[in-house]
């Protein structure tokens, strides 16, 4: 199934209406989301957070008429079992609002947003305090556009490209950039950096890192228990970074017998071209339920890691 956005202007206006209404929602893990929605009294939405945050079915009188009309224009409203459902969610990080895919995310072109996004943005903000203002940046696999938008808002003179192979993600990221007031975020189709020209002062990414038997694009990171895509991003970034340019990468790695194969793989390249690079575990144990899945029989934990590497001048 392919997702589509019929009218980006209508979705933008819907986002503005939600912001004006003081809407706030923090998106949690899918497992926690299911638990909360499964509680008594949570089967149907009774307010905007239930509709746009918890992705619960609702009736027409739950949403103001003007919002419902905007949902219809945007193509983000469908009917299921006699109730209405939003096909997008809206999450907030601080004052910014981000549209992404509704729960549950089953489609191959789903735009995922969750706890990883919050950790990614928090680490990005800390690292941006220590780098020179970039002239050109790119967020590989931008998804909702959160990374590219944060860079654009922090460095308004920087062209902050949101790159993705997912057309639906690019549509939502463009709307999210407008909602953030970031006019310097072009959203462009690209497989890694293959379809983009020129060099970059800053490359950032929060890629998929799960070994997914279904190979859904928003989850599957390929071989090495899902780390292969992150390795490819490191390689692509170091080839296209300008001298003195920086790579900021948030990803998840499978730890086996205390060993981080992702770090072992990228270390020689970093040592050769990036003096003083830094690598840290932001969280030693994420998505623990994944350890029960096929392909993780030898994995003891999945760690969220952050790489900050600056190419030699």
Tens of pLDDT, residue by residue over 222-281, are: 889 999 999 999 999 999 999 999 999 999 999 999 999 999 999 999 999 999 899 999
211: number of Cβ within 10 Å: 23
18 assigned to some structural domain: yes
| 118-140 confidence digits (pLDDT tens) | 999 999 999 999 999 999 999 99
* Domain identity same for 299 and 183: yes
1 assigned to some structural domain: no
Helix intervals (H) in the chain: 8-20, 30-37, 48-52, 65-74, 115-128, 146-154, 167-179, 223-226, 228-240, 261-273
Q: The domain containing residue 246 runs over which residues?
A: 115-310
| 197-231 confidence digits (pLDDT tens) | 999 999 999 999 988 887 777 778 888 999 999 99
For residue 307, give the H/E element and its range: strand 301-310
For the chain, what is the mean pLDDT?
Answer: 95
Query: Where among 71, 101, 131 does a domain terminate?
Result: 101
- Cα angle: 240, vertex 246, 250; to 5 degrees: 100
Query: Where among 77, 101, 125 does a domain terminate?
Result: 101
| 144-191 confidence digits (pLDDT tens) | 999 999 999 999 999 999 999 999 999 999 999 999 999 999 999 999
Q: Is 164 within 8 Å of 170 (Cβ atoms)?
A: yes
Place 2 in a pLDDT band, splitting at 50, 70 and 90.
low
295 assigned to some structural domain: yes
The domain total for the chain is 2
Q: Is residue 1 predicted with pLDDT exceeding 50?
A: no
* Domain identity same for 72 and 139: no
For residue 129, give both structure tokens: 């305090």
The dihedral over CA atoms of 103, 108, 112, 116, expressed in degrees to the nearest 10, equals 120
The DSSP secondary-structure symbol of 134 reads P
């Amino acid at each position: 199934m392919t997702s589509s956005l019929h009218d980006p202007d209508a979705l933008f206006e819907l986002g503005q209406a939600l912001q004006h209404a003081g809407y706030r929602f923090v998106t949690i893990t899918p497992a926690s989301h299911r638990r909360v929605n499964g509680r008594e009294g949570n089967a149907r939405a009774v307010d905007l957070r239930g509709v746009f945050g918890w992705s619960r079915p609702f009736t027409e009188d739950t949403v103001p008429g003007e919002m419902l009309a905007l949902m219809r224009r945007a193509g983000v409203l469908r009917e299921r079992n006699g109730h209405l459902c939003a096909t997008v969610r809206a999450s907030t990080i601080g004052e910014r609002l981000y549209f992404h895919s509704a729960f549950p995310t089953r489609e191959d072109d789903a735009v995922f947003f969750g706890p990883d996004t919050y950790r990614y943005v928090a680490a990005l903000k800390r690292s941006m305090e220590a780098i020179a203002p970039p002239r050109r940046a790119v967020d590989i696999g931008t998804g909702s556009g959160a990374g590219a938008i944060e860079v654009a808002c922090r460095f308004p003179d920087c062209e902050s490209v949101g790159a993705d192979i997912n057309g639906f993600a690019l549509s939502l990221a463009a709307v999210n950039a407008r909602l953030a007031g970031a006019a310097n975020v072009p959203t462009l189709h690209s497989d890694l950096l293959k379809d983009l020209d020129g060099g970059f002062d800053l490359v950032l990414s929060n890629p998929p890192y799960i070994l997914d038997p279904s190979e859904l694009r928003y989850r599957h990171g390929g071989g090495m228990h899902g780390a292969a895509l992150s390795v490819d991003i490191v390689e692509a970034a170091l080839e296209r970074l300008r001298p003195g340019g920086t790579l900021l990468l948030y990803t998840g790695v499978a730890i086996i017998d205390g060993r981080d194969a992702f770090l072992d793989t990228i270390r020689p390249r970093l040592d050769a071209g990036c003096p003083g690079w830094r690598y840290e575990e932001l969280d030693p144990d994420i998505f623990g339920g994944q350890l029960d899945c096929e392909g993780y029989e030898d994995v003891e934990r999945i760690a969220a890691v952050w790489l900050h590497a600056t190419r030699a001048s």
